[in-house]
Structure 1
Amino acid sequence: MASWNLKGFYAEACTCEGACPCVYTEKPTGGTCTGLVGWHIDEGEDGGVRLEDLNVALALHSPGRMTDGNWRVALYLDDRADDQQRAALQRIFSGAAGGHPANLSPLIGEVTEVTPARIRFEQSDRGCRLDVGSVAEADLQAIEGLDGGKASISGHPLAVAPGFPATVAKSSTFKLQAGDIRCDVTGRTAFYSPFAYEG
C-alpha cells in the first residue's frame, strides 16, 4: 500500500517555441529552457497528513537538453499549508518520498530556494492561469485542434503526468522571476492535464 498519494491538476509553461522538443528529450528550441510547473492537489495524503486543496510550483532552468540534467530550480509550497503539510509537500516534490517526482530529482543540479508562496490556480474549459506570489504568472490557452476540439499528446518520454494525455496550449502571458531564473514571453509552449502520483 502506498504511503502517500496525490491526485489533481497540473500545468506547465516554458520558453520553447512551437511544439516543445524537451518532452521528446530533444534540445530546447532556444538552446536552453526556462519553465514553470504548478500542481493543484484535489485529493491526497502523506502518512495521515491531508494535502487536498494545496498547491506546489517549481521554477526551473535547464542549460541544454533536459535529460542531460544540471537543472537549477526553486520550489514553492502553498503558504496556506501548516508545518506538517509543508514538510510532506517538500518531501514528495523534492523526490525524497519516491514515486514519479523521484524520477526527475537526479536531473536537478541546484535548488536555489524552497519557500512558502501564495500559489493560485484558475481553470476553465479552454485553459488555466497560474500565479505564484510575486514570482510568476502564466495564462495558458489550449490550442484549437481538429473540429474545434483540444489537441493533446500522450506517451511522451519526459512527462510531468505519466498516463494522462496532456492538452497542448500556448501562453498568452508567461512571466517568471525566481532569482536569476527568469523570463517574460508570450505565445510559447504550455501543457496541462490531470495527474496522479503515489509512493
Structure 2
Amino acid sequence: MTAPSWVLNGIEYGNCNCDYGCPCQFNGRPSSADGSCRYATFTQIYEGRYGDVNLDGLRFAWIGGWSGPVHEGGGEILTFIDARADDRQRNALQRIVLNEDTEELKTHYAVFCAMCTTIHEPIYALIEMVVDMETRVAHAEVPGIVVSDVEPVRNPVTGKEHRAQIVLPEGFASTLMETASGTVKATDRVKLDFTNTFAGIARLHMTDQGIVRHQ
C-alpha cells in the first residue's frame, strides 16, 4: 500500500552543544568540549497534513545525540508529540518524525533516524513554544522534562546583539537559518545540559519528498 503524502509548513529551532556557528553545518566535526553532538529541536506547524489528516497548529519536539559526528551513527532520539493531537494526528506526526513514510534520506528526520541505534517510545505531552525568527528569541518547554531558551548572540565586550545567518542553498533541513545563543536542560531518558551554545531558527517547509525550496 502506498504511504500517504504529507506536508509541513511552519517554523522550527534547534539548539546543540556546539560553539556558535556549529561546524556540522559545514561538514565539520562537532566543536563541543567532548566532541559529542547533543541537541534539542522544537517545531511549530502553521499548516500541515498527512494524507487527509489535518495537522494545523500542532507541535512536536525531539532531543537526543551522538557520541561524535552524526554521520558516525550510534545515536539516540526521544520525541515529544503534542498532547492536543487526537489519535490520528498523533500517529501522523509520529510517522513523519520517525521516518516511516518518507523517501529515503530526503529529510533531516530521515537522516537523523538512520543514524540512531536507540529510538525511544514517543512521549505525548503538552509542548509550550514561542519563537520569533526576526528577533532570534524563543522559548520551549515540555513541563518537567525539557526546557529551552534562545536569545541573540551578543558582543562579549559591548553586549550589543550580533546577527548572523547561515545560508544553505542545498540544505536538507532549511536554506536559511538565523543563528542565536541557546540554553537547554533535559532530564528523563535523554539528558541535556548546555548554556550559551549554538542555536538556529529556520522556516520549515517539508514534504515526504524533501524540502521545498523558495527562491
Normalised-by-shorter TM-score class: 0.7 to 0.9
CA distance in structure 1 between the aligned counterparts of 2:150 and 2:161, rounded to whole angstroms: 17
Partner of 1:152: 165
Secondary structure in structure 1 of the residue aligned to 2:191: strand
| Letter matched to residue 9 of structure 2 | K
| Letter matched to residue 119 of structure 2 | V
What is the TM-score with the length of structure 1 in the denominator?
Answer: 0.88
Give how far 1:177 is off.
Answer: 1.5
Please list, as runs of the form range in 1=range in 2, the aligned pairs for 1:45-64 lying within 5 A after superposition: 45-64=49-68
Partner of 1:189: 198
Give the gaps of 5 or more residues in structure 2. 209-215
Partner of 2:211: none
CA distance in structure 2 between the aligned counterparts of 1:96 and 1:187, rounded to whole angstroms: 34
Partner of 1:139: 149
Please list, as runs of the form range in 1=range in 2, the aligned pairs for 1:1-199 lying within 5 A after superposition: 3-29=5-31, 30=33, 31-98=35-102, 99-100=106-107, 101-124=109-132, 125-143=135-153, 150-155=163-168, 161-163=173-175, 165-171=176-182, 173-179=183-189, 181-199=190-208
Greater Cα shift, 83-92 or 181-190: 181-190
Secondary structure in structure 1 of the residue aligned to 2:15: strand
Contact 2:136–2:178 (CA under 8 A) maintained in structure 1: no
CA shift in 2, pair 1:156/1:142, >3 Å: farther
Give how far 1:63 is off.
Answer: 0.9
CA distance in structure 2 between the aligned counterparts of 1:116 and 1:33, rounded to whole angstroms: 25
Contact 1:74–1:178 (CA under 8 A) maintained in structure 2: no
Give how far 1:104 is off.
Answer: 3.0
Identity of aligned residues (%): 26
| Letter matched to residue 177 of structure 2 | A
| Letter matched to residue 134 of structure 1 | G
Q: Which has the larger radius of gyration?
A: 2
| Letter matched to residue 198 of structure 1 | T
Give how far 1:54 is off.
Answer: 0.6
| Letter matched to residue 174 of structure 2 | P
Give the gaps of 5 or more residues in structure 1. none
Q: 1:145-173: CA deviations, max 9, x gaps?
A: 9x96731102187x56333x1100001x3
CA shift in 2, pair 1:55/1:84, >3 Å: same
CA distance in structure 2 between the aligned counterparts of 1:133 and 1:54, rounded to whole angstroms: 17
CA distance in structure 1 between the aligned counterparts of 2:14 and 2:144, rounded to whole angstroms: 17
CA distance in structure 2 between the aligned counterparts of 1:62 and 1:160, rounded to whole angstroms: 19
| Letter matched to residue 167 of structure 2 | S
Greater Cα shift, 49-58 or 123-132: 123-132
Give how far 1:120 is off.
Answer: 1.4
CA RMSD of aligned residues (A): 2.2
Give how far 1:42 is off.
Answer: 0.3
